[in-house]
Structure 1
Amino acid sequence: MQKLYLTFLLSFLQSLYFSQSTKGFHIPDSLKNKNFDQLKKSYDRVFKIDNKKAELYANTILSKGKKEKNNNFIYEGYYKLAYARGLNSENGHPFADSLLRITQNINNNEYPAKAHIIKGILLNNDFKYKEALDHYILAQHLSKNKNPDQFFYLKKLMGILKTATDENEEALPLFLEYYQYEKEKMQTNNKDVKSYIGSIFSLSNSYSKNKKYQQSKIYNKIGIAECKKYNDYTHYTHFVMSEGIAEYYLKNYSAAASNLMGIEKNLLENKNYANLSILYYYLGKINYETKKENDAVGYFIKSDSLSFASNDFVPITRDGYEILIDYFRKRGDNESQLKFIDKLFYADSIINNSKQYLSKEIYEKYDTPLLLDKKEEVIHNLNNKNIILYWCLFIGLVIILFLIYVYRRRIGQYQKQADLLLETSGIQLIQPIPNNKTREQNNSVEEKAKNILSDAKLQDLKMKLEQFENNKEFLRKNITSDSLAKNLGTNRDYLSKSVNELKSKNFSQYLNELRINYIIEELKNNKKLRKYTISSIADDIGYNSSESFSNAFKKITGTLPSYYIKSLQDNTAKNSTDND
């Protein structure tokens, strides 16, 4: 009974994992009719070249496996999906964990060893080397005398792990074994091109780590040739990058930069942040060695931003922080100096926590005591600067508060003027004479004008101006004293003097007051007009822009059209409420 219960529970958990694996994923129409072999070939073709596409094919394999209830498809889908997501710097662990759980009681030539392999790879990418090693050892035990492909592939993975912990001499024989196995397999019907080319790169990289750069270049050349021969470019960018690194250490800086720059776009497209960080680090080193310090610093900063893009850090890039610290120290930039000192502390903490098997002592220019002293010095300098900064911030805050006060006061004035405008009937074009002194001044102006203008002509122009006002011709655009004088059968000077005589203002004031007086009444009486934009209203009454309209409105009324419209709307809403 207990055995039956465990079987049921395992089946339930499998179905749960299957249902969660591809949540929200729908197979594209172009892939619906593809069989497993076609999808696998498509995945292999783009794997490590276009990892987003690889993830698409893996998802499709998994979805088809669920639909057809084919366990082999499901296992392969989980494996490939975990691997592709890991290459995209995304979390592949849920898929690897699902694969481990659903294959733990299976005993064939692939599983559960393959599930432990992918879990180990993901842990290795997370710098969790001890945990990765545990899975590799278990997988090696499961594959021994059962699956030679897995057994020798695990030698490669062990070599990668040893390389990550700087045990490069011990890693090289493992890569050689794997390469010889894959090379011999190419002479059989069971050849695996992708694994064979991958073994060449592993060997090239190991020679580079052991500072045998000429041997590394030999295998880079072989690898690039084999990529072209078999039309498999999975590892092509890795060979080019390895070539660039070898050229750097051989001091062929121009060739090194050319190789590295040539693969930048591919790494960016694939979001391969770890390798991008290394690429920018070496471009920084190349520029630093060729005395292009500013360019070098730019690349080191880009390397830094990518080093921690996925909470990862690549130890090889460590001395880039030393260069950055020195660079900003020489320039007196304490903030940047402190920032990269902290980054170096963090980098060292990752290195110390990750290198579980590293027995060699690392001697660095900036050891912890020196870094702590430097950090304290920088913080002291920053504290002195902060006192000045706080005073500047305080003064700035006072200024901002004053400006806010002025702004709010002005808004209040605008609103008060707008409310007052509601109670009037507009702007009087000819202001009443308030006292004797003003009357005497106007009489003087009138007498002076009459000496210049004949009564007959003045009366004639007065009638024409009244007609101009009654017909609302002042709403036309681009009216000038020249154009209006021509329409009224006179000249500009005579028109200007007549307006001064009849209206006690110049032509521009006269035209603006006509327009503003008109729109005040129109807005008061036409609710629909209030919904127009200020720009549309300006255009309707002859202004070329909303700014010129607003300026004229403010000059004449003491407020802005937007505030006047708001007062009208508030007044309408209030009256509506009162009536209810």
Structure 2
Amino acid sequence: MFRFYPIVFVFIFQNLFFSQSIQGFHIPDSLKEKNYDQLQKAYNKVFRINNNLAELYANTILLKGKKEKNNELIYDGYYKIAHTRGLNSTNGHPYADTLLTITHNVNTKDYPAKAYIIKGILYNYDWKYAEALDQYIEAQKLSKNKNSDQYYYIKKLIGILKTATDENKEALPLFLEYYNYQKEKLNTNDKDIKSYIGSIFSVANCYNKDKQYKNALTYIEIGLKECNKYKDYTHYPYFISGIGIANYYLKNYKKASESHLKAEKSFIENNDYGNLAITYYFLGKTNYDTHHEKEAVQYFIKADSVLAFSKEFYPITRDGYEILIDFYKKTGDKENQLKYIDKLFFADSIINNSKQYLSKEIYKKYDTPILLEKKEELIADLNKKNYVLYWCLGIGFLLISSLTYFYIKSRKRIKQYQKQAELLLVKSKESPAILPLSDNEADKENASKERSKNIIPDDKLQDIRLKLELFESNKNFLQKNITVNSLAKEFETNRDYLSKSVNELKEMNFSQYLNGLRIGYIIEELNNNEKMRKYTIAAIADEIGYNNSESFSNAFRKITGTLPSYYIKLLQAS
């Protein structure tokens, strides 16, 4: 009887739980008549191949579940959205957290264990291995003697954690156990082709990591045959990449290069930047070992660019920077030599300071003292060249003087922004409420004058008050292209009533009200969501409904007295 209440609670307060899930999402016409089985098949077909499309199917499943009040669809929708967003390096944690909340008191074959599983998977994608392991252990307790599929799947997930910390020999038995379990299921009505093929890849990948390359190729061949047999190509590009890696180490360079070039296309199409960077690294190594140095350098530069764009780093790519340093030393390009020394310093700082990169075999050609000495020599040499340039700049004294004036003025503005960012951080920690608007007296006076002119029937005012409350609680203000006209139409009122009601109820005009909601929301998100702080300003602007970064920055500055870049920098440093 007690289990009934959480389910009722979910339906009564479903907007509180689901508001962040599919904001602004509408089921495309082509999917409206599809049933769950059809959507599931469509999702399985593109998962890990085109994760943007997979997320579309996941959102459709969730929205259909909400409309039909079908808990199983709701749970599955949240699970799938969290997973696809995690694979796309976007934030899947809110969806996993919601799934944990709504299944906490559920007792089915799959839940709540499956909620802990997806939370662990997301932690693994974030390289938080200890946290991931905690989630897997909790899921294993819940699934033992209850769901064999989950129980063995968790063994595979723990194996993945072990390979991440280079415990490959310990991981291999877990992967083989999972593979044998999935293989036995092929003879039953409960066979799971996707999981079966995935288990083959796990074994092959572990053999590659353990330097048993011929065994890896044996399992890759099995995996490719099964992909073609069952028409399931989810893991296909990863098998191809595995062929490239194994053949590189076996010195079959032609085969290695062909495989990596083939895998590259799939990784680009699916925005899989981590595997794309590793692919470019191996193409660089293949060309370097076959004495195609210029081509190798271009691939190492590509690998670095992808890693910089994705803000990720993989220890295996480290010696690519050493090759770049040697190349630019040989060509006499001291600027690029210094650039990649700094990159190598950065790589080593991550390896040395992050638990995610515990590796037993990272060999360093350049140790830190040598790098420091070489860096100082390069800087000194570059400074000598610049000395001649300083004499030439003497004729531009008047220009420099004027630039200095603007520089000082700019520094004052920067200090003011920094000070305002510090005040904002203190204020936002004390109260997460929507921040007040600018202290501009003209704004206040204009708003006061507008309120004094407002004569709105009380019943209209109360109706709009309720609709504004729903507008805020559902976070509909994050949608793009909201105007007073569009919102008035949605509220089934006229523009004049809505504008005057906002003046009366919020003591500000509509533009100030909308910007206040958005800026208040993003400040709270930035405070609580470390991953959001890594977004570009343009990406954040798009996330909260602005058409460009300039309009977002201007609104942020007017409300807070600082710019979003200064506030994010302060959060990252705190």
- Offset at 1:393? 5.4
| Matching residue of 1:235 | 235
Alpha-carbon displacement from aligned partner over 1:313-372 (angstroms, at most 9, x marks no partner): 122111111111211222232222222222222222322343369474744112233222
After TM superposition, the score normalised by the length of structure 2 is 0.66
Change (3 A) 1:8 1:289: same
State how far apart, in whole Å, the 2-side matches of 1:359 and 1:280 are: 21
1:335 matched to 2:335? The reply is yes
Residue pairs, 1:208-287, within 5 angstroms:
208-287=208-287
Alpha-carbon displacement from aligned partner over 1:410-439 (angstroms, at most 9, x marks no partner): xxxxxxxxxxxxxxxxxxxxxxxxxxxxxx
Does the aligned pair in 2 maintain the 1:130–1:356 contact within 8 Å? Answer: no
State how far apart, in whole Å, the 1-side matches of 2:54 and 2:15 are: 24
Change (3 A) 1:400 1:382: closer
Does the aligned pair in 1 maintain the 2:11–2:69 contact within 8 Å? Answer: no
Does the aligned pair in 1 maintain the 2:315–2:357 contact within 8 Å? Answer: no
| Matching residue of 1:527 | none
Describe the SS at the equivalent of 2:124: helix
What amino acid maps onto 1:214 in structure 2?
Answer: K
Change (3 A) 1:380 1:25: same
Residue pairs, 1:363-374, within 5 angstroms:
363-374=363-374
State how far apart, in whole Å, the 1-side matches of 2:395 and 2:98 are: 60
Change (3 A) 1:288 1:100: same
Does the aligned pair in 2 maintain the 1:167–1:358 contact within 8 Å? Answer: no
Alpha-carbon displacement from aligned partner over 1:187-246 (angstroms, at most 9, x marks no partner): 111100000000001101111111111111111111100000001111111111101111
| Matching residue of 1:290 | 290
Farther off after superposition, 382-391 or 94-103: 382-391
Change (3 A) 1:140 1:353: farther
State how far apart, in whole Å, the 1-side matches of 2:95 and 2:48 are: 18
| Matching residue of 2:122 | 122
- Offset at 1:130? 1.5
Does the aligned pair in 2 maintain the 1:165–1:356 contact within 8 Å? Answer: yes
State how far apart, in whole Å, the 1-side matches of 2:5 and 2:391 are: 73
| Matching residue of 1:452 | none
Does the aligned pair in 2 maintain the 1:127–1:354 contact within 8 Å? Answer: no
Change (3 A) 1:141 1:389: farther
Change (3 A) 1:19 1:212: same
| Matching residue of 1:315 | 315
State how far apart, in whole Å, the 2-side matches of 1:370 and 1:98 are: 50
State how far apart, in whole Å, the 1-side matches of 2:6 and 2:166 are: 45
- Offset at 1:382? 3.0
- Offset at 1:5? 11
What amino acid maps onto 2:275 in structure 1?
Answer: N
- Offset at 1:16? 1.5
| Matching residue of 1:503 | none
State how far apart, in whole Å, the 1-side matches of 2:357 and 2:136 are: 15
| Matching residue of 1:448 | none
Describe the SS at the equivalent of 1:318: helix
1:74 matched to 2:74? The reply is yes
Higher relative contact order (CA 8 A, sep 6+): 2
State how far apart, in whole Å, the 1-side matches of 2:397 and 2:289 are: 47
**Structure with bigger gyration radius:** 1
Residue pairs, 1:309-458, within 5 angstroms:
309-355=309-355, 358=358, 360=360, 362-392=362-392
Change (3 A) 1:359 1:327: closer
State how far apart, in whole Å, the 1-side matches of 2:46 and 2:173 are: 30
| Matching residue of 1:97 | 97
Does the aligned pair in 1 maintain the 2:6–2:105 contact within 8 Å? Answer: no
Change (3 A) 1:289 1:8: same
Change (3 A) 1:321 1:4: same
Does the aligned pair in 2 maintain the 1:129–1:354 contact within 8 Å? Answer: no
| Matching residue of 1:109 | 109
| Matching residue of 1:533 | none
Alpha-carbon displacement from aligned partner over 1:34-64 (angstroms, at most 9, x marks no partner): 1111111110011111111101101111111
What amino acid maps onto 2:58 in structure 1?
Answer: A
State how far apart, in whole Å, the 1-side matches of 2:163 and 2:398 are: 59
Change (3 A) 1:352 1:67: farther
Change (3 A) 1:88 1:394: farther
State how far apart, in whole Å, the 2-side matches of 1:362 and 1:50 are: 33
Q: How many pairs were matched up?
A: 400
Does the aligned pair in 1 maintain the 2:182–2:192 contact within 8 Å? Answer: yes
Change (3 A) 1:187 1:294: same
Residue pairs, 1:110-189, within 5 angstroms:
110-189=110-189
Change (3 A) 1:348 1:111: farther
Does the aligned pair in 1 maintain the 2:129–2:161 contact within 8 Å? Answer: yes
Gaps of 5+ in 1: 402-580
After TM superposition, the score normalised by the length of structure 1 is 0.65
Change (3 A) 1:11 1:32: closer
Farther off after superposition, 376-385 or 17-26: 376-385
State how far apart, in whole Å, the 1-side matches of 2:242 and 2:396 are: 54
1:86 matched to 2:68? The reply is no
Gaps of 5+ in 2: 402-574
Structure 1 residue ranges, 4+ long, deviating more than 6 angstroms after superposition: 3-13, 396-401
| Matching residue of 1:464 | none
Residue pairs, 1:31-50, within 5 angstroms:
31-50=31-50
- Offset at 1:71? 1.6
The CA RMSD measured in Å over matched residues stands at 2.6
Describe the SS at the equivalent of 1:190: coil
